Amino acid sequence: MRSVSPQGCARGFGLGILLAASAVDLAYADSGGLGMPPVAVLLAAGLAAVLWPARRRPRWLTVPVRTTVPALCSLLYCAATLLARGDAPFGPGEAIILLCLLFVAVRHAPPRWAPVCAFLDAGALLALPVRFFGPGTDEFVVPLLLVGLVLIGLVGGLAGYLRSMDYRRTLAVGETRRAERLAIAADLHDFVAHHVTGILVQTQMARMMAASRPDELDPVLAGIERAATEALASMRRTVGVLRETDETESAERRPVGDLAGIEDLVDGFAGPHQRVALRRDPTVSDDLPHEVQAAAFRVVQEALTNVRRHAADATEVTVCLRHDGSRLEVSVTDDGRGGTQLPDAARGGGFGLVGLKERVTTLGGELRVGPRADIGWEVRALLPTGKP
């Protein structure tokens, strides 16, 4: 047996009230002999505008059309009645329909059309008592106009508030998507570019060794194969994130690093005639906050990638991890002189360090990048850990 949702019950209840009120209008027009066909046409147009299912609604039946046509019909009927010096009935059905259309206009109409549609719906609602009692009968018209103004204020205010909430939600969703795209772009740079740069460097080495030292070529080719495999794995994870629709799952599946991953980076970085050392202070524990470990991993990854790009002649690269009480210090130094044979297109545009600085400063840390006192380059980051 199917259960009925609260939303379905509320819609059914509202539909019943609207149809019952419209039936009261028709009964009132028929009993008073004041012209049932015009009232039936007005109610039919209003009910179609309010109740037409969104999935079956034709393209031409836009929000401005839905909210202005019934209001214009009501205003034209009012004008024709006043010109004929007669009176025309109005009841709760037409008033409720106009209030519903006012709500739709304020909340869903395009910004350019919302004031026009709301003004027409409000004007049609205020014209209802004038249409029946006449413009000169203040005894009933003025109180009804005051009630109409109160209802317009309440309905319009509620619709405006909900529209502002929708706008804020749209902005929040847009900012979330923008942050997600920026994070994915950082992942592409940090992971894929790191591996691809390694492939490029090792390929150049393989070409030079093919003629002079072919017996030493196998380890280089193995390094190229390993870097290509890691690049493909990173690309698959990133594409998986792009295909995800749930933001929580995307955050969980996004490739991240930790302190253990730094050891893998160092082990797989060294090339021929190059020594890479990891100096990890015993005070650096594995239970540091996850975001701190991920930031430290990105610092080392970006620094090593820049060594390949801009200091391929470096013979010694040192990665240091220290914990001086409340901050994790991450430093990467090299003794390169800036020698590189990479093409210009593979040297990057400096966006890696910009993104790295944003990542570090977001955590309340500091990033320093510059030449060393004697020779080479240094990247140093201080990341607060919150642990005294």
Last residue of a domain, which of 136, 159, 179? 136
Report yes or no on 81 lying in a domain: yes
The verdict on pTM exceeding 0.75 is no
pLDDT band at residue 349 under the 50/70/90 scheme: very low
Domain count across the chain: 2
321 falls within a domain: yes
Residue 289 lies in a domain: yes
Query: With 70 as the cut, is the pLDDT of residue 183 above it?
Result: no
45-54, 178-187, 314-323: segment of lowest average pLDDT: 178-187
Per the domain annotation, does 231 fall within a domain? no
What DSSP line would sit under 42-80, residue for residue? HHHHHHHHHHS-STT--TT--HHHHHHHHHHHHHHHHHH
Instruction: Indicate whether 317 belongs to any domain.
Output: yes
- What one-character-per-residue DSSP string does 315-364 give? SEEEEEEEE-SSEEEEEEEE---S-----GGGS--SHHHHHHHHHHHHTT
Mean predicted lDDT score pLDDT of the chain: 78
Last residue of a domain, which of 136, 167, 194? 136
Q: Is residue 186 part of a domain?
A: no
Q: What CATH number corresponds to the domain at position 364?
A: 3.30.565.10
pLDDT at 188 over 80: no
29 to each of 163, 165, 315, how far by Cα in Å? 36, 41, 97
Domain enclosing residue 72, as ranges: 6-136
Residue where a domain terminates, one of 87, 105, 136: 136
Question: Which helix (H) or strand (E) element contains residue 375?
Answer: none
pLDDT in tens, 191-236: 666 666 666 666 766 666 666 677 666 676 776 666 676 666 666 6
Domain contains 208: no
Average pLDDT over every residue of 366-381: 88
330 within domain boundaries:
yes
The mean-pLDDT minimum among 32-36, 54-58, 89-93, 373-377 falls in 32-36
Radius of gyration of the chain (CA): 36
236-291: pLDDT as tens digits: 655 665 555 444 444 444 445 788 888 888 887 776 677 888 999 888 888 788 77
